[in-house]
Amino acid sequence: MLCCKNNKIEVTIELRKDHPFFQRLKNNPPLWWNNLKSDTELYIDVRKDNSLNVYHNGGSIMKLESIKKSKETIEFKAQIHFEYIPLQLDKESDYLPFKFKGENIYMPEHKTIDINNFAKQSIKKIKKRIKMFYPNDSEKGIQGRYVINNKISKSANGFFIDTEYQYGDKRIDMVWVDLIEKKIAFVELKTIGDARLYVDKTKNQETVENQLEKYYKFARANRDHLVKYYNEVYDIKRELGILPAFVKEESLKGYKLIEKPIFLVGDCTRKWINKNADDLNSHLKNIAFGCVYHGIKTLNFKIPYKTSRNNNCFRLNGA
């Protein structure tokens, strides 16, 4: 586990690719694990406590970990949020009946679907439930689609190795690996509806600048550890076969961390960019590596070493 004190990481549990949990999945994978891995609409992230999260559209289908039963044996442990679980319905109706007893009304017990080792039809129903909470145009939905879009790309210059990296009470939306520049970078994702983009800076309210400054200080204080950590994450993903197919690197040896985060807005319109981008660039240029503005249908990502109207690199400002 990673604890934070004054932005400095203190490691109490070490992430290890040789952990029995990862070795079990690698050497003797169950059918349900292979089904999850092969679904192109899902993505899987490694967690610092030697566990995994399986995501769709930003919603966690499964938190998967292990329990040590003996020196040689482990068992799997997993959970899903109750709101994501579909009910088993009568084939002739999509409606569930209420029951009455005297003056009281109640709902009888209902069965949940048979997940059938995450067969296609079962996982499809779970995905549908998740999209009720995180539709495609929500921040989580956009986050998930960025990861999937790069995962299946045939011409990407990098990929998102992680989402929802947590330290202390903070979460960093995405972590980008640039295969051309050999860099690792934090990416903070926003939608145009996020109030922190427009707060009055004279008032005591959190702004995007405040957020990015915290991430910068954290990255700067833990640069070496974070590079080592994501080398381990990469090795685990490579051994488990959950890296994008186009990624062929043996390791991330020699990669460096960009300390300043990248700011990304994922559901822009041209009108919104014309009205807001210059102001945001001006306020963030000393604390962000760069700002990227995409439309809801674009969902591609290139770390902004070159500046254009929608990709603003502040590298010359000491990023």
Q: Mind listing the pLDDT tens digit for each residue in 126-140?
A: 999 999 999 999 999
pLDDT of residue 237 exceeding 60, the answer is: yes
Burial of 303 (0-12, 13-18, 19+ CB in 10 A): buried
pLDDT of residue 2 exceeding 60, the answer is: no
Q: Mind listing the pLDDT tens digit for each residue in 86-140?
A: 999 877 788 889 999 999 999 999 999 999 999 999 999 999 999 999 999 999 9
Mean pLDDT calculated for residue range 273-285: 92
pTM score of the predicted model: 0.91
At 303 the pLDDT is 67
Confidence of residue 261 (pLDDT cuts 50, 70, 90): very high
What region, left, alpha or beta, does residue 109 occupy, with left being phi > 0 and alpha being psi -120 to 50 degrees?
beta
At 304 the pLDDT is 58
d(C-alpha 149, C-alpha 237), whole Å: 18
Q: Smallest Cα–Cα separation from 52: which of 209, 242, 226?
A: 242
Mean pLDDT calculated for residue range 262-276: 94
At 319 the pLDDT is 43
At 314 the pLDDT is 85
